[in-house]
Amino acid sequence: MPEIIDPNDFLPRYHQLANILREQISNGKLEAHQPIPSERQLEMIYSVSRTTIRQAIDLLVRQGFLYREHGRGTYVSPQKLQKGISELTSFTEDMKQRGLVPGQKILEIGYIQPPEKVRQHLELPEGSGQVLRIERIRLGDGVPMGLQTSFYGLTGEQTITQEELEEVGSIYRILQEKFHLIPTEADETLEVTLATPREASLLQIEPGSPLLLSERTTYSQYRRVIEFVKILYRGDRYRYLAKLTR
């Protein structure tokens, strides 16, 4: 069992400890509403300081695996609360989490003069130049799930070609590997609309069918806007999941 903490590991100790505990929870070695060893006990078991123990527990509490009760102990959360939903994910990751095979049909990719609303969401100054626009049908297990339109305020040199996109599949991976931009935060709104004839034919539904419209602004590690994305989801195939905390 690699259930000891290696000071020379490239992972920090609190991270190693969190992994060990998370593993025990997933294994079922620690059951729901059961207490884990106290912080002083963990200190001795793993030979790390209490600060490090607390860092590990903090992490697992934020991830929903544990909860604390002052004066009593730290306990395992029931399975239901442990799913990491409501995290910032790309469509690709979202589908995989749902157990579906992600896919896409690229309809159009190119530079356009952005509509006012898009320009504002990208936080570009008035009178800025063109932005990259990508329109795709998104598939889950080969079936149309939604119609996605994405906008990127990249400069002329920074660009993404249709070949790249078809090969890699995920724009997030391209942004990260090619431009070192890491999506870290996003604001999203959800509302209901009805399908226009064009949208309906692309999504293979009747015009006027209800759709779930998601509009998302994604920010980089530098808190600058990376992208503005609109997705029209088929109302009969897609359900949005969120996990809320106080």
For 91, 135, 145, 219, 230, the CA distances from 209, given in Å and listed in that order, are 22, 20, 14, 32, 18
Cβ within 8 Å of residue 115, ≥6 positions away: none
Q: Which stretch binds its own copies (CB under 8 A): 15-23, 105-113, 135-143, 205-213?
A: 205-213
From the list its own copies, DNA, none, pick the one residue 185 interacts with, judged by a Cβ distance below 5 to 8 Å according to partner type. its own copies
Q: Does 173 sit near its own copies (CB under 8 A)?
A: no
Q: Which stretch binds its own copies (CB under 8 A): 35-43, 63-71, 108-116, 131-139?
A: 63-71
In whole angstroms, how close is the CB of 132 to its own copies at the nearest point?
21
Q: Does 31 sit near its own copies (CB under 8 A)?
A: no
Q: Smallest Cα–Cα separation from 110: which of 152, 167, 147, 169? A: 152
Q: Does 67 sit near its own copies (CB under 8 A)?
A: yes
Q: Smallest Cα–Cα separation from 3: which of 42, 61, 49? A: 42
For 111, 112, 135, 225, the CA distances from 128, given in Å and listed in that order, are 13, 11, 21, 15
Q: Does 13 sit near DNA (CB under 7 A)?
A: yes
Residues near DNA (CB under 7 A), total:
25
From the list DNA, its own copies, none, pick the one residue 238 interacts with, judged by a Cβ distance below 5 to 8 Å according to partner type. its own copies
Q: Does 10 sit near its own copies (CB under 8 A)?
A: no
Q: Does 68 sit near DNA (CB under 7 A)?
A: yes
Quote the CA–CA distance of 218 and 153 in Å, as a whole number: 12
Quote the CA–CA distance of 127 and 23 in Å, as a whole number: 53
| 42 within 8 A of 53, measured Cβ to Cβ | yes
Pick the binder of its own copies from 10, 27, 69, 71 (CB under 8 A): 69
Question: What residues make contact with DNA under the rule CB under 7 A?
Answer: 12-15, 35-36, 38-41, 47-52, 54-55, 68-74
